[in-house]
């Protein structure tokens, strides 16, 4: 029902606007404009409430939680109120609502819209005055917009004047205004000159997520409001207590340029709507729900307003073929966990018969080590066995049609066996053909999860010295990068044999100290023992790494791999302090280059990657148990572990702050098992 006061206010407002149009005096125009704004605010005022919270956390998202009153909008005469989720970021124990007539009532939180950051409240009251929505299709860029709040005591709401700057912002979920938007009016309405509600003022961000994302635009002339009409279309679901969440498709794109990049798929998440549709890497999206898309930004704009549970129809191009499919979007994508057999493959050791021993097409892949308690050990595999073929045991679980049993896949290298198993999940079964001595055998194996523990000992994968002088530099190296401004050091075992496969550790130093002398001296014996090369790029400024230097580090790594015989499965980036942050960021950006990251005395920072069967990625955290930031480090490890990455840890104690020898030994054992299958 609409209040009689609104009926009286609107004709008065129309008369005011006519007076403005007919005035020739500039001062009169300003005064009449002010009257029009006040009339518009008066029209919506009966529908505004003042919200106060009691209790809760003191700090939210690293900031002191706001404790002042905020604003809400009445959406129905029986006591339902909408406001910004930001107002409850501190998780208060009680919510109090003050109505326009001064009554104070306890409110109950009914549900959240976590896509548009709105919260629906309920108070025990009747005959309230719901706000009138503006038709969003009629809202024009450049028209007057007034941000309104009732955070202060008094009969008149506070207001901020501006215009509608843009529509369909934040991936189609909000209108933008240059009116000042802040916690004073979060949850309040953005109204037009007639007092109708265009949208609900909320902090939103293109990049950030969470209840405080977008607060950085505080009073900046960049504010956002969720269209009131859009919210009203979801009230039945919210009143039923349903939490609304953003709809996820489950893809990522090859291009990092959202504005100009082609929507060419780089990855499809396992068990996602995208996989259900049949999307695959290298497919190009061409339409979403019948609307053409040409850029990544178009795709995000089309999917952005959709909720989990909404059905999406996707048109895509695969080669010369145009295809389409539909699926229901989900609220959460399952982290991918790859299967684990429990073996280490033999490696080329530089001897003349190395190929025959390990990766020959006739003999298959020889087992170097069997992990204790692994599926491989339980199946009877042992050191020296040669795996020659593999096939899926349970075709249905692997995504194959049950009446189309897969054929045996020959295993001629460790890469081929890993390529099969990393696309399977724990619990799935495979069949292996292998030779134990001269006896061929077949065995069924149920895969397990990749373990996080570092084994206490591993057999040394000895490398045979070269039969003749090698043509590359070995030992300790110090060289200058091509730009002449940066330098790097390296260590290549003196007995380097180009016919063998070496591991590569890229060392990223902490701020203020390259640690070159210490690392090269203490790590050299382990490099010689395990067949590992060290590469130590130096930051342009010894005071610390900068984000743009990742390109330098990765390009140097690639050139070193071309220069020496490096096993691509055993390339890890290891960093300490700020170097540890860089190590995580380098791996995140170049997952085809690095297979592991060891982070010493540092948490992670930057965008969090997802586990992807196309990249076998493993992490290690080494930390001094007395370090002040230990909770952040443990939180980083828990985050990656929750995403189903194998995450190992090496806690240590040290009086001088240096990594103890036992921890260095454990780090090299972790590194030596990066090629585990």
First to last CA, the chain: 67
| Alpha carbons 551 and 296: distance in angstroms, whole number | 24
The alpha helices in 257-341, defined as continuous H runs, are 273-277, 296-303
pLDDT at 287: 97
Q: With bands split at pLDDT 50, 70 and 90, how would you rate the model's confidence at 58?
A: low
| Alpha carbons 475 and 490: distance in angstroms, whole number | 8
The residues spanned by each domain of the chain are: 41-239, 251-328, 339-449, 475-672
Region 294-306 average pLDDT: 96
Any idea what DSSP says for residue 58?
S
| Alpha carbons 479 and 535: distance in angstroms, whole number | 11
Region 635-658 average pLDDT: 94
Asked if residue 14 has pLDDT above 60, the reply is no
DSSP strands (E only) in 14-125: 48-54, 59-60, 63-64, 70-74, 80-84, 94-98, 104-113, 118-123
Per-residue pLDDT of 380-433, as tens digits, reads 999 999 999 998 875 444 344 444 455 788 998 998 898 888 878 899 999 999
Q: Does 251-328 carry CATH code 2.120.10.30?
A: no
Q: With bands split at pLDDT 50, 70 and 90, how would you rate the model's confidence at 209?
A: low
Of the listed ranges 12-21, 70-79, 530-539, 616-625, the one predicted with least confidence: 12-21
Q: With bands split at pLDDT 50, 70 and 90, how would you rate the model's confidence at 270?
A: confident
Q: With bands split at pLDDT 50, 70 and 90, how would you rate the model's confidence at 359?
A: very low
* Structure tokens belonging to residue 470: 């090698």
Residue 619, H or E segment = strand 618-624
Asked if residue 208 has pLDDT above 60, the reply is no
Region 276-303 average pLDDT: 95
Candidates 2.40.10.120, 1.10.3080.10, 2.40.50.140, 3.90.79.10; CATH matching 41-239:
2.40.10.120
Q: Please state the three-class secondary structure of 367-403 as a single string.
A: EEEECCCCHHHHCCCCCCCEEEEEEECCCCCCCCCCC
Tell me the pLDDT of the chain averaged across its residues.
Answer: 88
Of the listed ranges 340-354, 355-369, 617-631, the one predicted with least confidence: 355-369
Evaluate the CA torsion angle 629, 630, 635, 637 in order and state its sign.
positive
Per-residue pLDDT of 142-160, as tens digits, reads 999 999 999 887 668 989 9
pLDDT at 217: 56
| Alpha carbons 582 and 586: distance in angstroms, whole number | 6
Fold assignment, 339-449: Pdz3 Domain (2.30.42)
Q: Are 339 and 447 in contact (CB under 8 A)?
A: yes
| Alpha carbons 24 and 37: distance in angstroms, whole number | 19
Residue 538 three-state SS: coil
Asked if residue 71 has pLDDT above 90, the reply is yes
Of the listed ranges 212-216, 371-375, 567-571, the one predicted with least confidence: 212-216
Asked if residue 517 has pLDDT above 60, the reply is yes
CA dist 585 → 154, 314, 358, 603, 632 (Å): 52, 32, 34, 11, 17
Report the 10 Å Cβ neighbour count for 607. 10
Q: With bands split at pLDDT 50, 70 and 90, how would you rate the model's confidence at 485?
A: confident
Which residues lie below 8 Å from residue 29, measured CB to CB, with a gap of 6+? 20, 23
Q: To which residue do tokens 């048109």 refer?
A: 315
pLDDT at 216: 52
pLDDT at 528: 96
Per-residue pLDDT of 162-192, as tens digits, reads 999 999 999 999 999 999 998 889 999 999 9
Q: With bands split at pLDDT 50, 70 and 90, how would you rate the model's confidence at 319?
A: very high
Asked if residue 642 has pLDDT above 80, the reply is yes
Domains 41-239 and 339-449 share a fold: no
Q: Are 223 and 180 in contact (CB under 8 A)?
A: yes
b/e code 423-449 from CB counts within 10 Å (16+ = b): bbbeebbbebbbbeeeeeeebebebbe
CATH architecture for residues 475-672:
3-Layer(aba) Sandwich (3.40)
Asked if residue 219 has pLDDT above 60, the reply is no
Which residues lie below 8 Å from residue 506, measured CB to CB, with a gap of 6+? 535, 536, 537, 553, 557, 571, 572, 573, 574, 583, 586, 594
Asked if residue 331 has pLDDT above 70, the reply is yes
Q: With bands split at pLDDT 50, 70 and 90, how would you rate the model's confidence at 9?
A: very low
């Amino acid at each position: 029902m609409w209040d009689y006061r609104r009926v009286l206010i609107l004709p008065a407002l129309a008369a005011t606007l006519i007076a403005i149009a007919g005035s020739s005096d500039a001062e009169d125009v300003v005064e009449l404009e002010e009257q029009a704004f006040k009339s518009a605010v008066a029209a919506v005022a009966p529908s505004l409430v003042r919200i106060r919270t009691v209790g809760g956390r003191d700090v939210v998202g690293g900031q002191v939680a706001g404790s002042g009153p905020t604003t809400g909008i009445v959406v129905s005469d029986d006591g339902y109120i909408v406001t910004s989720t930001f107002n409850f970021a501190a998780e208060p124990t009680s919510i109090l609502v003050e109505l326009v007539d001064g009554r104070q009532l306890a409110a109950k939180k009914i549900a959240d819209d976590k896509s548009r950051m709105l919260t629906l409240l309920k108070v025990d009251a009747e005959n309230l005055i719901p706000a009138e929505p503006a038709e969003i299709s009629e809202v024009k860029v450049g028209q007057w917009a007034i941000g309104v709040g009732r955070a202060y005591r008094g009969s008149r709401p506070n207001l901020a004047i501006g215009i509608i700057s843009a529509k369909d912002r934040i991936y189609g979920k909000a209108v933008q205004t240059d009116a000042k938007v802040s916690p004073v009016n979060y949850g309040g309405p953005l109204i037009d000159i007639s007092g109708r509600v265009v949208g609900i003022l909320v902090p939103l961000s293109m990049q950030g997520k969470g209840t405080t994302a977008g607060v950085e635009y505080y009073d900046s002339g960049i504010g956002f409001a969720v269209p009131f009409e859009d919210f009203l279309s979801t009230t039945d679901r919210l009143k039923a207590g349903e939490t609304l969440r953003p709809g996820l498709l489950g893809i990522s794109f090859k291009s990092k340029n959202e504005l100009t990049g082609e929507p060419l798929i780089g990855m499809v998440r396992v068990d996602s709507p995208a996989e259900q549709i049949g999307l695959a890497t290298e497919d190009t999206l061409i339409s979403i729900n019948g609307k053409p898309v040409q850029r990544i930004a178009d795709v995000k704009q089309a999917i952005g307003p959709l909720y989990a549970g909404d059905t999406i129809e996707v048109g895509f191009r695969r080669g010369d073929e145009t295809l389409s499919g539909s699926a229901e979007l989900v609220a959460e994508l399952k982290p991918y966990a790859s299967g684990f057999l429990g073996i280490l493959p033999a490696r080329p050791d530089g001897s003349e018969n190395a190929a025959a021993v390990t990766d020959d097409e006739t003999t298959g892949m020889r087992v170097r080590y069997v992990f204790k308690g692994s599926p491989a050990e339980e199946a009877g595999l042992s050191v020296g066995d040669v795996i020659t073929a593999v096939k899926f045991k349970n075709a249905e679980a692997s995504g194959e049609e049950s009446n189309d049993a897969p054929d045996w896949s020959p295993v001629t290298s460790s890469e081929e066996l890993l390529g099969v198993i990393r696309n399977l999940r724990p619990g799935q079964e495979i069949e292996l053909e292998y030779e134990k001595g001269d006896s061929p055998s077949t065995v069924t194996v149920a895969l397990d999860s990749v373990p996080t523990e570092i084994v206490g000992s591993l057999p040394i994968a000895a490398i045979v010295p070269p039969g003749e002088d090698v043509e590359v530099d070995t030992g300790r190296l110090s060289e200058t990068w091509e730009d002449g401004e940066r330098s790097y050091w390296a260590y290549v075992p003196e007995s380097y044999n180009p016919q063998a496969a070496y591991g590569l550790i890229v060392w990223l130093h902490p701020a203020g100290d390259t640690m070159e002398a210490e690392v090269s001296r203490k790590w050299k014996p382990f490099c010689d023992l395990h067949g590992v090369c060290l590469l130590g790029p130096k930051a342009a400024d010894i005071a610390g790494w900068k984000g743009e230097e990742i390109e330098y580090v990765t390009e140097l790594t690639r050139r070193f791999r071309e220069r020496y015989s490096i096993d691509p499965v055993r390339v890890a980036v290891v960093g300490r302090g700020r170097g540890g942050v860089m190590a995580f960021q380098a791996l995140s950006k170049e997952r085809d280059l690095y297979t592991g990251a060891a982070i010493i005395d540092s948490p992670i920072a930057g965008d969090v990657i997802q586990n992807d069967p196309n990249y076998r990625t493993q992490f290690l955290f080494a930390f001094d148990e007395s370090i002040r930031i230990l909770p952040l480090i443990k939180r980083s490890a828990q985050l990656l572990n929750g995403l189903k990455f194998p995450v190992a840890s090496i806690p240590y104690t040290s009086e001088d702050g240096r990594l103890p020898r036992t921890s260095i030994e454990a780090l090299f054992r972790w590194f030596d098992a990066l090629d585990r299958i």
